[in-house]
Amino acid sequence: MKDELIKIKTAKLAKEKGFDVPTQKAYDGVPMLCTHTDSVFNTLNYNSELGGNYCSAPSQALLQRWLREVHDIHLDITYSGKQNVEREIEYYVTGRQLSIGIWDSYEKALEKGLQEALKLIK
């Protein structure tokens, strides 16, 4: 099991909304994913002024945690259905149901939920 990185569309939105947590991975604007280093001791804030066109590429879990701890935005994904079958998935942001849709994976629903949660930041 590994953490899913956010997609470039979400990364650009997160940068616009002030996500400033150092990461090891970033999108260079092409959208090509690049890695700074394999060491956890050498992460960079790609979203800082020095980052240029780069956008930090955190895991979905890290961005979800940042939304919760910095902006008090809680994102919950719930789904019903069977394994290996499209499931109806709902995502809730701070207790409000924002969407019900058919997604083929939890991670795809979470990605959409992260985008919608970021849009709530003024």
pLDDT digits (tens, 9 = 90+) for 38-86: 555 456 777 777 667 788 999 999 999 999 999 988 888 776 665 555 5
In a domain, 2, yes or no: no
Domain with 107, as residue range(s), is 8-119
User: What's the structural domain count of the chain?
Assistant: 1
Identify the CATH number of the domain in which residue 77 sits. Answer: 3.30.160
pLDDT above 60: residue 109:
yes
Token representation of residue 69? 């701890």
Residue 12 CA to residue 87 CA, distance in Å, equals 28
Instruction: Report the phi/psi class of residue 22: left, alpha or beta, with left for phi > 0 and alpha for psi in -120 to 50.
Output: beta
Cis peptide before 31 (omega within 30 of 0): yes
In a domain, 3, yes or no: no
In a domain, 40, yes or no: yes
